[in-house]
């Protein structure tokens, strides 16, 4: 896990406008703004939004072309946001079938912390009431969660985890994908018991539920798509 800590390392008192953000953080904010909490967002879309917010940093260098966004200016900061800060998952590619980015749970937290810099937050940048309700049911109606509420020290097997995540025990990729898909979204439930439950799962299965490995999984799979 990265040593980067959003609460300690992001000083909002020094950030008055979007152009005050580093490229890594600006691009993370753009992904959230464009709906990257729910879906994959293409690099070109992200670059265009970043160019709109900070044209100096994301335009071509030659003066006569400075009215155009430069995708290359976004590539390295996107990789930093993924590999250094673990704010996003995904990959950069010229082939749109292989290209795209989404926020991790940490990325959602940064997006929420920095969204005061935006004039408005579009509807697609957060979960709807219906989506939040469905997520609650998806978690709280499961046997494993109910057992956890009755006894937080219960023994949890890989089979229990797989049943909760609706995946097969031997498919680690599916276990990670399903877990971190929910883990990213529980930010919007504002439920301490759910938070504690997910953290306990991470502690009980550190090799399976490893966010760094999840990000690596996404990177490899995006690059290997045909």
Tell me the pLDDT band of 226, cut-offs 50, 70 and 90. very low
Phi, psi of 88 (to 5 degrees): -140, 160
Task: Name the domain count of the chain.
Answer: 2
Domain end among 126, 146, 165? 126
Say how many residues make up the chain: 226
pLDDT of 183 higher than 50: yes
Last residue of a domain, one of 65, 99, 126: 126
Question: Which residue is it, tokens 């996107």?
Answer: 78
| Statement to judge: residues 195 and 153 lie in one domain | yes
Same domain, 31 and 113: yes
Q: How far apart are CA 156 and CA 205, in angstroms?
A: 9
Rounded mean pLDDT, 114-143: 85
Q: Is a pLDDT exceeding 90 seen at residue 214?
A: no
Residue 179 included in any domain: yes
- Residue 144 placed within a domain: yes
Domain boundary pick from 72, 100, 126: 126
| Same domain for 55 and 39 | yes
CA distances from 114 to 72, 171, 190 (A): 24, 36, 18
How far apart are alpha carbons 157 and 171 in whole angstroms?
15
Q: What is the pLDDT of residue 221?
A: 61
* Residues 47, 58: Cα–Cα separation, whole Å: 7
> Are 30 and 115 in a shared domain?
yes
Q: Which domain holds residue 74?
A: 14-126
Q: What is the pLDDT of residue 129?
A: 86
Are residues 159 and 118 located together in one domain of the fold? Answer: no
């Amino acid at each position: 896990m990265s040593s980067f800590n959003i609460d300690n390392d992001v000083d909002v008192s020094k950030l008055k406008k979007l152009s005050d953000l580093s490229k890594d953080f600006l691009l993370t904010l753009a992904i959230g703004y464009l709906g990257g909490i729910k879906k994959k967002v293409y690099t070109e879309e992200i670059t265009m939004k970043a160019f709109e917010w900070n044209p100096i940093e994301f335009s071509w260098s030659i003066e006569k072309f400075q009215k155009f966004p430069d995708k290359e200016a976004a590539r390295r900061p996107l990789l930093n946001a993924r590999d250094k800060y673990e704010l996003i998952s995904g990959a950069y590619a010229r082939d749109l079938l292989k290209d795209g980015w989404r926020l991790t749970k940490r990325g959602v937290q940064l997006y929420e912390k920095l969204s005061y810099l935006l004039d408005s937050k579009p509807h697609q940048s957060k979960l709807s009431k219906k989506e939040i309700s469905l997520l609650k049911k998806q978690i709280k109606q499961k046997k494993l969660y109910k057992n956890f509420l009755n006894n937080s020290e219960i023994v949890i097997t890989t089979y229990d985890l797989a049943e909760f995540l609706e995946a097969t025990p031997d498919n680690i990729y599916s276990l990670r994908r399903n877990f971190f898909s929910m883990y990213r979204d529980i930010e919007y439930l504002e439920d301490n018991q759910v938070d504690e439950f997910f953290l306990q799962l991470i502690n009980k299965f550190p090799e399976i539920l490893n966010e760094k490995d999840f990000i690596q999984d996404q990177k490899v799979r995006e690059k290997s798509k045909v």
